[in-house]
Amino acid sequence: MTQSTSPSYLVRPATQSDVNGIVAVGRKVWLETFSHTTSPENMLVHLDASYTAELISKEISHPDRLYLVAHAADGSAGVAGFAVIARGTSSSEPSVADWPNPVELQRIYVDKAHHGAGLARQLAEEVYGAARKEGYKSIWLGVLPENTRAVKFYEKCGFKKVGSHSFWVGGQEDIDDIMARLL
């Protein structure tokens, strides 16, 4: 994968030096986006299960994960956003069983300070390129329907709802929409 630049962001594969920035952005985005949908206890359980330095460090090194990070091109800030592809046995979804060679877009998270700058679209394009390069033909994701900003973004990117599945936040079951598109 080559490094990609836009006028304001550099997107590249994550390294161990990005772990703390990914954790910070992941926790911040989750709190800002979903704190109104669950109890503080469920939120803490989820954050501690999903966004710790130890976990992210392991995932960055795992062959079934590809983490991409975005930094301001001028070097003025840390991680502005990140995206994750989950592939292989770590990702399966019955709703896309009939789709050609699917891969999961597990996350695109952009720090709120960088909203509106085209970073989410840039990360999405980098994900599509990486997935195509690895031979994938379609891509899917899960999104909470109440996360209207994300749903609208994914629809603009060509994703369509193809199913749903359970997603657990602590002890609370949410139902995510499964959206997919061809690459």
Report domain extents, the chain: 4-182
Whether the per-residue pLDDT at 165 is higher than 80: the answer is: yes
Residue 91: its pLDDT value, please? 66
Whether CATH 3.40.50.970 fits 4-182: no
Cβ-contact 149, 126 below 8 angstroms: no
Per-residue pLDDT tens digits for 48-93 = 999 999 999 999 999 999 999 999 887 777 899 999 999 976 567 9
Average pLDDT along the chain: 90
